[in-house]
Amino acid sequence: MAVSYPMDLPDRVQVLERMLQLLMAAAQTRPALDQISGGKLQIGADGGPRIVLAIGEDGLPELRFYPDSGTSYARIVAGSDGGATGIGMIGEAGTAGNKFQVLHRADTYQVLHMGAVADQADGGMLQLGVDFAASGYFGTADQFQNYWYHQADRTSLVGRFANNSANSYWGMIVGGVTVGSGGSGGIVTYGPTMASTMRPVACVRDGAATPNFTWCVTASSTTGFTVSWSNSTGKEIDYCSFRT
Q: What is the pLDDT of residues 123-169, one digit of tens each?
A: 888 999 999 999 999 887 777 899 999 999 999 999 999 999 999 99
Could you give the CA distance from residue 25 to residue 27 in angstroms, rounded to a whole number? 5
Predicted structure pTM score: 0.63
Q: Domain limits of the chain?
A: 41-158, 172-243
Q: Enumerate the β-bridge partners of residue 111.
A: 102, 126
Residue 83: pLDDT band with limits 50, 70, 90: low
Q: What is the pLDDT of residue 7?
A: 63
Residue 242 CA to its chain's centroid (Å): 28
What single-letter amino acid sits at 98?
A: N
Which helix or strand (DSSP H or E) is residue 83 part of?
A: none
What's the Rg (C-alpha) of the chain? Answer: 35
Beta-carbon contacts of residue 84 (< 8 Å; ≥ 6 apart): 105, 106, 107, 108
